[in-house]
Chain A
Amino acid sequence: MRLSAQERLAYPLLVPAAALIGALILYPIGATIVTAFATTDKLGRIVGVAGWRNFQALAADPAFWQIFRRTFVWTAIAVAVKTTAGLAFALLLNLPFHGRRAVRLLTVIPWALPYPISAMIWQWTYNSQFGLLNRFLQATGLWPHPPAWLASPGSAFAANLIVDIWIGLPFFALVFLAGLQAISPEYHEAAAIDGAGAAARFAAVTLPFLRPVIVMASLLSVIWTFNDFSVPYIVTKGGPINTTDILVTHLYKTAFQFLDFGPASAIAIITFLTLLAFSLLYARLYFREVG
């Protein structure tokens, strides 16, 4: 195979990354694929071939489809809010006002806390007896009769969403901020000279420049949010009555609580294929932008 000059330069540059990936990921993924089509003992050792049975069992389980749909809803809402609020926040942080640096510093704090710890703190804060959230809402009159967040299915789902968004917002804000900073001010000046107001400048200059960053950040966020384990597991443990379970928490329970490694691997494959399909669509958007 003849390599072009560019290729001869490119492939060595890829070696470190490729080596890491190959060594650490291909075996686990391969093992998962194989296990999904097998029956295992309680230790995860393969003892037989299950063919498509694990997948069929999942397809026949209405609870599985509920969880599947819910994961979509979970991801869609969380990523939409994180993207828009993140962008708004980034625009705010981009404005030259005094103390901007301090505000940026404070913004990073929710991100700087480990997810499990944040989840635990939020779970404590949500408690209607011990937590400060409802006390605050009642005392300030913002919400005189707040729900007992974790006590019923609807509010528990909302509660989880809030935590996930809370954790993810700084990331978006900062990534978009970096993107905003990369836009040469000359473009803004030119648009201003043209008589474009702030809103028009935003649409004509900022958004187009930010589009690759928005696409990249939101795609990664979709993948991360879809697989967000800490928040639903620690805040609600997937409850009450499994109404906040998403695919990854269901997978965890199946594997580690019930020791059903075959079905768990099948769930993993389904998750993977779903995300792959989504990413292919998204990636085509990205590459079309950028060429």
Chain B
Amino acid sequence: MSMRRRIALAAGAALCIGLLAVPALGGGAVSIRAVWMEYDARYNTFWQQLKKDFEAANPGITVDTVIVPWSEGHDRLVTWIAGNQAPDLAIVGTRWILEFNKMGVVEPVDTFMPKAFTHKFIGPALEARIGGRLYGVPVALSARALYYRSDLIKTPPRTWQEMLAVAQRVAKPGSLYGIGVSGKKFAELTEYVYYLYGNGGDFFVTNPDGSYGRCRVNDAAGVEALQFMTDLVNKYKVTEPNVAENDRGTLQDLFLAGKLAMIETGPWFGGMIQERAKSLPFAVAPMPHNQGKPQHTLLVTDSIIVFKSAKHKDAVAKFLEFAYNDRHRLEFDKDFGMLPVVKTVARNAYFQTPFYRPFIEQLPTAKPWPLVAEWSKVEDVMWDAVTSALLRAKSPRQALTDACREIDQARGVK
């Protein structure tokens, strides 16, 4: 027994040592490393195909592709950067750029990309333009709209008041809920931002020089927005029950299961409906706003940033040019359910459909997230405030006042 055991141990050790070998990277003289966020597990083929196509057209350059789920993305990047293992390029939420900039690791794209490249993009997509420099290349653009059941709702609501009336009309407690509201912390501050912007409100006071000052969600507009949301849940009860257990993902699933009449989300949802609930009758309308207030929806971009530590910036430039030709861009937007960022792609017939029209129409007036370096903290505090109000732990005014105090303290703003 001991002899056999010794042999087993030795074999195990030998196996271990044999596997010590660092897996060799592929051929090419030059290698660039890219980190892509996973929009949906199915669509990893896009990046793999892009890599193959690029390597075929550019022998001598290999693209080391790493794909990370969005939920892990921020933390993975932080770990890699902190461990001096930053990749050459990575997809990031544009709102992270300021934070990474504070670490001093981002190379502005216009340093090494030709002007013609940056002129490709439509105006609203260039969110990563900070202080005149372009820090990230827009890779995914989306806006938010109202999806509704076209069999139950003939004319989409344009205002909050109309939306409430519609929700009350179609709601059947237990089997169909009027509209979805989520109370579980999620990657984005859904849905409060829709109501905030739709009431003419904002997160911060804008200083004359363009920078962001005091937090202002506790002003009349912000409080009214949160009050309306909590009323939907607690007073009128037209939302799904137990909001704190749902995030936007679950709400989307509820809509697909036929339990929600209305939901506010982005353009990718159209593709999801096609795939998982083809026969579900739906239509899209611009995001509702408060009566008497202007209409603003949320605009979100993700960007590709290049790290200062990238050794072969010319190879990176070549890759970006390749990835951003019209064909690949159209394919990306189709696959991932995004809006076009490149001017020429936006003119493609694919986007001139009734589905895309409400999204594209809203772009000129759409507002992005405020770009502040402490956005992670701000978003976290805001989520707690919203959930506190939804769960009736605090009144909306109290919740938002406490939030503003905490946010101003974190940002060092008086």
Contact flag (A, B; Cβ within 8 A): yes
Q: Which residue of B lies closest to A159 (CB)?
A: B245
The docked-state distance in angstroms from the alpha carbon of A152 to that of B250 is 17
Q: Given A44-B82, A129-B254 in contact, is the A239-B185 Cβ separation under 8 Å?
A: yes
Inter-chain contact A241/B393, CB cutoff 8 Å? yes
Inter-chain contact A41/B102, CB cutoff 8 Å? yes
Q: Which residue of A lies closest to B77 (CB)?
A: A256
Please name all residues of chain B whose beta carbon is closer than 8 Å to the beta carbon of A32 when the two chains form the complex. none
**Does B244 have its Cβ within 8 Å of any Cβ on chain A?**
yes
Please name all residues of chain A whose beta carbon is closer than 8 Å to the beta carbon of B74 when the two chains form the complex. 256-257
- On chain B, the number of residues with a Cβ less than 8 Å from chain A's Cβ atoms is 34
Please name all residues of chain A whose beta carbon is closer than 8 Å to the beta carbon of B377 when the two chains form the complex. 257-258
Q: Which residue from B103, B240, B241, B243 sits with its C-beta under 8 Å from A42? A: B103
**Does B209 have its Cβ within 8 Å of any Cβ on chain A?**
no
**Does A128 have its Cβ within 8 Å of any Cβ on chain B?**
yes
Please name all residues of chain B whose beta carbon is closer than 8 Å to the beta carbon of A151 when the two chains form the complex. 183, 242-245
Q: Which of A74-92 contact B (CB under 8 A)?
A: none
Segment among B164-172, B314-322, B384-392 that sits at the interface with chain A? B384-392
Inter-chain contact A148/B75, CB cutoff 8 Å? no
- In the assembled complex, how far is the CB of residue B387 from the closest CB belonging to chain A, in whole angstroms? 5
- In the assembled complex, how far is the CB of residue A69 from the closest CB belonging to chain B, in whole angstroms? 19
Inter-chain contact B244/A239, CB cutoff 8 Å? yes
Q: Mark A204-244, 1 if CB is under 8 A from B, else 0.
A: 00000000000000000000000000000000010111100
Inter-chain contact B391/A239, CB cutoff 8 Å? no
Inter-chain contact B241/A43, CB cutoff 8 Å? no
Please name all residues of chain B whose beta carbon is closer than 8 Å to the beta carbon of A152 when the two chains form the complex. 244, 391
Chain A contact residues (Cβ within 8 angstroms of B): what range?
A: 20 to 34
**Does A150 have its Cβ within 8 Å of any Cβ on chain B?**
yes
Q: Given A240-B184, A253-B380, A256-B74 in contact, is the A43-B245 Cβ separation under 8 Å?
A: no
**Does A130 have its Cβ within 8 Å of any Cβ on chain B?**
yes
Q: Which residue from B103, B376, B391 sits with its C-beta under 8 Å from A258? A: B376
Please name all residues of chain A whose beta carbon is closer than 8 Å to the beta carbon of B241 when the two chains form the complex. 128, 148
Please name all residues of chain A whose beta carbon is closer than 8 Å to the beta carbon of B257 when the two chains form the complex. 129
- In the assembled complex, how far is the CB of residue A263 from the closest CB belonging to chain B, in whole angstroms? 12
Inter-chain contact B183/A240, CB cutoff 8 Å? yes
The docked-state distance in angstroms from the alpha carbon of A210 to that of B389 is 51
Inter-chain contact B387/A128, CB cutoff 8 Å? no
Q: Which residue of A lies closest to B379 (CB)?
A: A257
Q: Which residue from A150, A241, A256 sits with its C-beta under 8 Å from B388? A: A241
The docked-state distance in angstroms from the alpha carbon of A127 to that of B377 is 27
Please name all residues of chain B whose beta carbon is closer than 8 Å to the beta carbon of A68 when the two chains form the complex. none
The docked-state distance in angstroms from the alpha carbon of A43 to that of B102 is 9
The docked-state distance in angstroms from the alpha carbon of A262 to that of B105 is 20
Inter-chain contact B387/A240, CB cutoff 8 Å? yes
Inter-chain contact B103/A41, CB cutoff 8 Å? yes
Q: Which of A34-56 contact B (CB under 8 A)?
A: 41-44
Please name all residues of chain B whose beta carbon is closer than 8 Å to the beta carbon of A237 when the two chains form the complex. 184-185
**Does A149 have its Cβ within 8 Å of any Cβ on chain B?**
yes
The docked-state distance in angstroms from the alpha carbon of A151 to that of B384 is 14
- In the assembled complex, how far is the CB of residue B261 from the closest CB belonging to chain A, in whole angstroms? 15
The docked-state distance in angstroms from the alpha carbon of A88 to that of B214 is 59
Inter-chain contact A259/B250, CB cutoff 8 Å? no
Please name all residues of chain B whose beta carbon is closer than 8 Å to the beta carbon of A43 when the two chains form the complex. 81-82, 103, 105
**Does B99 have its Cβ within 8 Å of any Cβ on chain A?**
yes
**Does A171 have its Cβ within 8 Å of any Cβ on chain B?**
no
Q: Which residue of A lies closest to B243 (CB)?
A: A151
Q: Given A126-B245, A150-B245 in contact, is the A239-B103 Cβ separation under 8 Å?
A: no
Q: Mark A11-28, 1 if CB is under 8 A from B, else 0.
A: 000000000000000000
Q: Given A129-B259, A240-B184 in contact, is the A150-B250 Cβ separation under 8 Å?
A: no
Q: Which residue of A lies closest to B380 (CB)?
A: A257
Q: Which residue from B244, B250, B388, B393 sits with its C-beta under 8 Å from A130? A: B250
Interface pairs (16), CB distance under 8 Å? A42-B102, A42-B103, A43-B82, A148-B241, A149-B245, A151-B183, A151-B242, A239-B185, A239-B387, A240-B391, A241-B391, A242-B384, A256-B75, A256-B78, A258-B380, A259-B376
- List the interface of chain B (C-beta within 8 A of A): 74-75, 78-79, 81-82, 99-100, 102-103, 105, 183-185, 240-246, 250, 253-254, 257, 259, 376-377, 380, 384, 387-388, 391, 393
Known: A42-B99, A152-B391, A237-B184. 19 other contacts (CB 8 A): A43-B81, A43-B82, A129-B250, A129-B259, A148-B242, A148-B245, A150-B245, A151-B242, A151-B245, A237-B185, A239-B387, A240-B183, A240-B244, A241-B387, A242-B384, A256-B75, A257-B376, A259-B78, A259-B99
Task: State the 5 A-B residue pairs at the shortest beta-carbon distance, nearest first.
Answer: A148-B242, A151-B242, A150-B245, A151-B244, A151-B245
